[in-house]
Amino acid sequence: MNISNFDDLLAAARQQRQTQRLLLVFAAAELPDDATAQQRLDYEQGVGGTLVPAMCVDKGAHEIENFAAMKQESTQFAMPWQVLFASSLSGIGPQAPPDAQVNAALQRMVDAIKQGAFANMVAFDELGEAISLA
């Protein structure tokens, strides 16, 4: 299945035989303290910056109606974000993965984002469209 938006990811997760926990990390773009003048100008125009994890959550694939509902829920935390990183963790049959395993996987995602290592995650913009990060 080709995942071109967040709702595609939801559909794919719901089709799996094993129970899926979606691991979601919301990241905000920030300007680094040592930014150059050009980087500052780009950032002011909405381009560039450093992605910093702002909040994370895990949800069952059936706990999220769609991207619009998930985005609306994220506004309750008053944490602006520009990129949503998603991954999943499989349980065993109908059994969800244990909380300790979920928490460890979320922490690995946060650490990877801080290091700029996005290879094992799908990134989505504020409209829920899949994006590629270099």
Segment 75-79 long-range contacts (CB within 8 Å, at least 24 positions apart): 79/26, 79/28, 79/54, 79/55
| pTM: predicted TM-score of the whole model, two decimal places | 0.89
Distance, in Å, from the CA atom of 30 to the CA atom of 36, rounded to the nearest integer, reads 13
Length of the chain in residues, anyone? 134
Q: Where are the beta strands (DSSP E) in the chain?
A: 20-30, 50-60, 83-90, 122-124, 130-131
> Following CA atoms 79, 74, 53, 112 in sequence, which dihedral angle do they give, to the nearest 10 degrees?
180
Q: Which carries the bigger pLDDT value, residue 54 or residue 48?
A: 54
* pLDDT at residue 120, as a whole number: 87
How confident is residue 1, by pLDDT bands cut at 50, 70 and 90? low
What's the pLDDT at 134? Answer: 66
d(CA 128, CA 100): 28
User: What is the residue type of 98?
Assistant: P
93 falls in which pLDDT band (50, 70, 90)?
Answer: confident
Does pLDDT of 84 surpass 80? yes
